[in-house]
Amino acid sequence: MTRSDGGSSAGATTILIVDDHALVREGLRWVLEVHADLDVVDEAGDSASAVAKAASERPDVVLLDVEIPGDDPVVTVRRIREVSPDSAVVILSMYDSPDLLRRLIAAGVRAYLLKSVGREELVAAIRKARDGSGSVLLSVSGQSLVQVQNAEPAILSPVELAILQLAAEAMTNAQIARRLDLTEATVKSHLRRIFAKLGAVSRIDAVNKAVAASLVTLPHDRLVPRPRRPSP
């Protein structure tokens, strides 16, 4: 496609489009690149190529369809964030699913949009995602939003969810701090709040409760043991 402005603008938001349908990718590119501040730098059609291209391009935004071939979308999001931590992941989905929404928020997505959104809303979401605010932009049904907000245990903040997900992956406080660009003291403070919200008595207990509530996911190669009751 030929850009209406004749090329990429300096400081434009760079975007990686991930969808397994070439026609959809072409349509999204057309919608986005009519805006001088948006630049589609590459496309991918499956999870493996999405991760590889995120690593090579380091885009500002990864626009990701949840139905691409390959890994579970939550795993794909986590891997993208590992290879390109500064990339904001914006989800496009046909599924208005509270469970999927909770899992993707826990994985660190910056926006979750149904495919019924208009082009103006899509463009606005991409711009907001790049801004780097702590909020997660949601465009879902009121019913799903209520279910997510009222879910038990209490919904954690995006930072708390990210910390708990990394804790579920057996990272130490120091490793979590480096990954999220926080101090170790800040991580410990967040963990104390997480324990209070979940009614957890330990790190393992918090992870187990979060997994049971679909707030975080465990790596396939790791099982977290449930705490044993003390012997009488």
pLDDT tens readout for residues 136-165: 666 544 454 444 445 444 567 888 889 999
Q: Taking Cα atoms as reference points, which of 110, 96, 107 lies closest to residue 145?
A: 96
* Amino acid found at 39: D
Paired with 138 in beta bridges are 112
* pLDDT at residue 157 in the model: 82
* pLDDT at residue 43 in the model: 98
Return the residue matching tokens 């072409």.
26
Q: In the chain, which stretches have pLDDT less than 70?
A: 1-10, 133-155, 220-232
* pLDDT at residue 89 in the model: 94
* pLDDT at residue 70 in the model: 92
Q: Taking Cα atoms as reference points, which of 165, 208, 209 lies closest to residue 187?
A: 165
Query: Rounded to 5 degrees, what are φ and ψ at 68?
Result: -70, 150
* pLDDT at residue 145 in the model: 46
Query: What residues contact 40, with CB distance under 8 A and at least 6 apart?
Result: 14, 15, 16, 17, 28, 29, 32, 33
Domains assigned to the chain: 13-149 (3.40.50.2300), 152-232 (1.10.10.10)
Please give the C-alpha separations between residue 137 and each of 56, 104, 207, in angstroms, as whole numbers: 26, 12, 25
Instruction: Give per-residue pLDDT as tens, 90-113.
Output: 999 887 777 777 788 878 888 888
Residue 168, classed as helix, strand or coil, is helix
* pLDDT at residue 228 in the model: 44
Neighbours of 121 (CB within 10 A): 14
Query: Rounded to 5 degrees, what are φ and ψ at 209?
Result: -65, -40
User: How far, in Å, CA of 162 to CA of 168, rounded?
Assistant: 10
* pLDDT at residue 220 in the model: 54
* Average pLDDT of every residue of the chain: 81
Q: What is the DSSP letter of 146?
A: H
Residue 123, classed as helix, strand or coil, is helix
Question: Are 13 and 130 in contact, with CB atoms under 8 Å apart?
Answer: yes
User: How far, in Å, CA of 50 to CA of 96, rounded?
Assistant: 23
The tokens describing 181, both together, are: 């660009």
Q: What is the CB-side half-sphere exposure of residue 144 using CA atoms within 13 A? A: 15
* pLDDT at residue 65 in the model: 96
